[in-house]
């Protein structure tokens, strides 16, 4: 290259830049696709916890009625009505029936697990409202709380009887 030429890039440098840039772009694209798929798997796991909660609520009403005790709820959770994925947090009598706080968990696979475990858990707290026997046919009302809400947070926000 002559001393009076300025601003030009050697052809070999352009080729080297292109060769190095292609793998970087491929890695970025693969990472983005992996994150998208991980988010979809996490969303599917949260949806599965909703199905678990509904299955649990239906089994609870069928087996124990609308006025279960703590032990009744534990028995239904232990029988595997929801695949043994539930953890009882609280059973509380209310003015209009019984309220059960239970957490359901489902595993899902993380996309890019370089520095941690490849499996993660999707935990979600649910409020199962069981109406009083006088209010008509027993049908449990299942309320899903946000993925960021723990059962302790939910219990603190719900009004006491």
pLDDT digit string (tens) for 94-145?
Answer: 888 889 999 999 998 887 666 667 788 899 999 999 887 776 677 889 999 9
Number of structural domains the chain divides into: 1
Tell me if 81 sits within 8 A of 99, measured CB to CB.
no
Burial-class residue 36 by CB neighbours within 10 Å (0-12, 13-18, 19+): exposed
Within-domain flag for 5: no
* Cβ pair 75, 129 in contact under 8 A: no
Q: What is the pLDDT of residues 32-78, one digit of tens each?
A: 888 888 889 999 999 999 999 999 998 888 887 778 888 888 888 88
| Residues spanned by the domain of 142 | 11-157
């Amino acid at each position: 290259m002559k001393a009076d030429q300025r601003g030009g890039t050697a052809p070999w440098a352009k080729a080297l830049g292109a060769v190095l840039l292609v793998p970087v772009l491929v890695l970025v694209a693969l990472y983005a696709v992996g994150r998208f798929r991980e988010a979809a798997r996490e969303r599917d796991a949260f949806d599965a916890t909703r199905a678990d909660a509904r299955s649990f609520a239906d089994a609870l009403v069928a087996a124990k009625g609308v006025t279960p005790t703590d032990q009744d709820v534990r028995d239904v959770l232990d029988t595997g009505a929801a695949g043994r994925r539930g953890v009882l947090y609280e059973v509380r009598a209310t003015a209009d029936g019984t309220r059960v706080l239970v957490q359901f968990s489902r595993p899902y696979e993380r996309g890019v697990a370089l520095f941690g475990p490849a499996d993660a858990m999707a935990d979600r707290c649910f409020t199962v409202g069981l109406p009083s026997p006088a209010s008509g046919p027993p049908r449990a009302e299942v309320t899903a709380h946000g993925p960021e809400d723990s059962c302790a947070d939910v219990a603190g926000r719900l009004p006491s009887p």
